[in-house]
Amino acid sequence: MDASFWLLQFLNAMQYSMLLFLLSIGLTVIFGLMHFVNLAHASLYMLGAYFGISVSALTGQFWLAFILSPIIVTLIGAILYFTLIDRMRAAGPMNQVLVTFGLIFVILDLVRLGWGDIALGLDAPDALAHTVSFWGISYPAYRLFIIALGLTIMISMWVVLARTQIGAMIRASVENADMAASLGIHVGRLFFVVFCFGCALAGLAGVAAAPIFSATTTMGITILIPTLIVVVIGGLGSLEGAIAGSLIIGFLETFGAVLLPSLSAVLTYILLAVILVLRPQGLIPARG
C-alpha cells in the first residue's frame, strides 16, 4: 500500500462521490423545497443512461447524447410533475413514498420493454478513451472527466445558490415557503424549475455513468439507497449537506471495501443509524 495505491483509491472515491452528488443534490433540494420524497429519482438516472445509449447509437455522437439525454429526462420529469407529483405534494410522506414506489415499477418495466433485459454499454468518447499517467499511476481520462464535471457543477451550484437572486429565492422558499410567497416569490413556479433541474442532473448522472458501469435495469434501485443515505446524512434540503454526505459515503464505501472488506457493507448503515440517533436532522440541515 504505497502512495500510488492511496491516490488511486482517492480518485475512485472522488468519482463515486461525484455521481452520488449529482443524484442527491436534486433529491435533497426537491425534498427541502417541496417536502416531496421522490423514490423515482433514481429511475430518472436509469432513464438518463438508457436514453444516452440510444441517442449515441443513433447519431454516433457521445456529446450529443450527453446533452440530449438530460433534456429528454427533464421532459419526462415535467410530465410526471404535472400528472402526479404536483398532486401528491400535500399528501404526506407515506403516500408520496407509495406513489413513487409504484413509479419505480412502471419505469422499470417500461425500460425492459424498450431496451430489453441485457446490460448495455456505452463507449467513452474518443477524446477521453485513453488513460492519463501522472504521479506514478495511470487513470482513465473519462473518470477524471467525471470528477471534474461533478466539481464544476458543485461549485456552480454553490455560486448560484449563494450569490444570485434565484439562489436567494430558493433558499428563502426552503426556509419558509409561506413567507417567501407573501414576499412575492412565485413559489409554485420556483418548485417546478427546481424539480426540472433536479431531473436534468439525474439524467446527466445517468448518461455520465453509462460508460463506467453499463446500463442495467437494476441500476436505479441499486443507487437509490446510497443516494437516500447521502440525503439523510447530509441534511434534507441543503447543498452543503449533499456535498458532505456524498463525499462521506463515497469515501466510506470505497475505502471500506479495500481496508475492511468484511465490515464495509454494513459500515454505511451503521453511520446512518448513528446519525439518525444523535443528529436526526442531518449534519448540515437547511433549516438551522
Partner 1 sequence: MFYQSRLRSITLILALGFLAAYASFGSYFAREIVIEITILAILAISLDFCAGFGGMVSLCHGAIMGISAYAFTIMSVKLGLPSVPSAMIGLMAAVVFSGLVGWVTARTSGIFFIMATLAFGQMAYTFFFKSRWLGGDDGMGGIDRFDLSWLGVDMNDALVFALFGIAVLLLVYVIAAILLRSGFGRILSGIHSNENRMQAVGINTANHKAIAMAASGLMAGIAGILAAQHTLYISPELLIWTVSGEVLLVVILGGIGTLIGPVVGAIMLVMLKHELSNYTDYWHMIVGMVLIFAVLAGGRGIFGQIEYWLITRHPPKAPHLPPAKEKDLA
Distances (CA, A) of 121 to 5, 50, 192, 214: 28, 9, 32, 5
CA-to-CA distance for 174 and 170, rounded, in angstroms? 6
- The answer to the question of residue 218 lying near partner 1 (CB under 8 A) is no
- Give the nearer residue to partner 1 in terms of CB position, either 12 or 100: 100
Of the residues 3, 114, 269, 287, which one makes contact with partner 1 according to CB under 8 A? 269
CA-to-CA distance for 29 and 134, rounded, in angstroms? 37
**Is residue 32 a contact partner of residue 174, using CB atoms and an 8 Å limit?**
yes
- The answer to the question of residue 87 lying near partner 1 (CB under 8 A) is yes
- The answer to the question of residue 79 lying near partner 1 (CB under 8 A) is no
If phi > 0 it is left, if psi is from -120 to 50 it is alpha, else beta; for residue 154 that is alpha
Report in angstroms how near the CB of residue 131 gets to partner 1 at its nearest: 31
CA-to-CA distance for 4 and 6, rounded, in angstroms? 5
Query: What are the φ and ψ backbone dihedral angles of 137, each rounded to 5 degrees?
Result: -125, 160
Residues 108-167 that bind partner 1 (CB under 8 A): 108-110, 112-113
Question: What is the dihedral sign for C-alpha 184, 189, 194, 195?
Answer: positive
Report in angstroms how near the CB of residue 169 gets to partner 1 at its nearest: 24
Report in angstroms how near the CB of residue 10 gets to partner 1 at its nearest: 24
Of the residues 75, 151, 193, 272, which one makes contact with partner 1 according to CB under 8 A? 272
CA-to-CA distance for 288 and 275, rounded, in angstroms? 16
Of the residues 104, 185, 201, 215, which one makes contact with partner 1 according to CB under 8 A? 104
Report in angstroms how near the CB of residue 111 gets to partner 1 at its nearest: 10
- The answer to the question of residue 31 lying near partner 1 (CB under 8 A) is yes
Q: Which three cell numbers stand for residue 213?
A: 458501469
- The answer to the question of residue 221 lying near partner 1 (CB under 8 A) is yes
Of the residues 57, 58, 63, 93, which one makes contact with partner 1 according to CB under 8 A? 93
Count Cβ atoms below 10 Å from residue 140 Cβ, excluding itself. 18
Residues binding partner 1 (CB under 8 A): 31, 35, 37, 84, 87-88, 91-95, 97-99, 101-106, 108-110, 112-113, 221, 225, 228-229, 232, 236, 262, 265-266, 269-270, 272-273, 276-277, 280
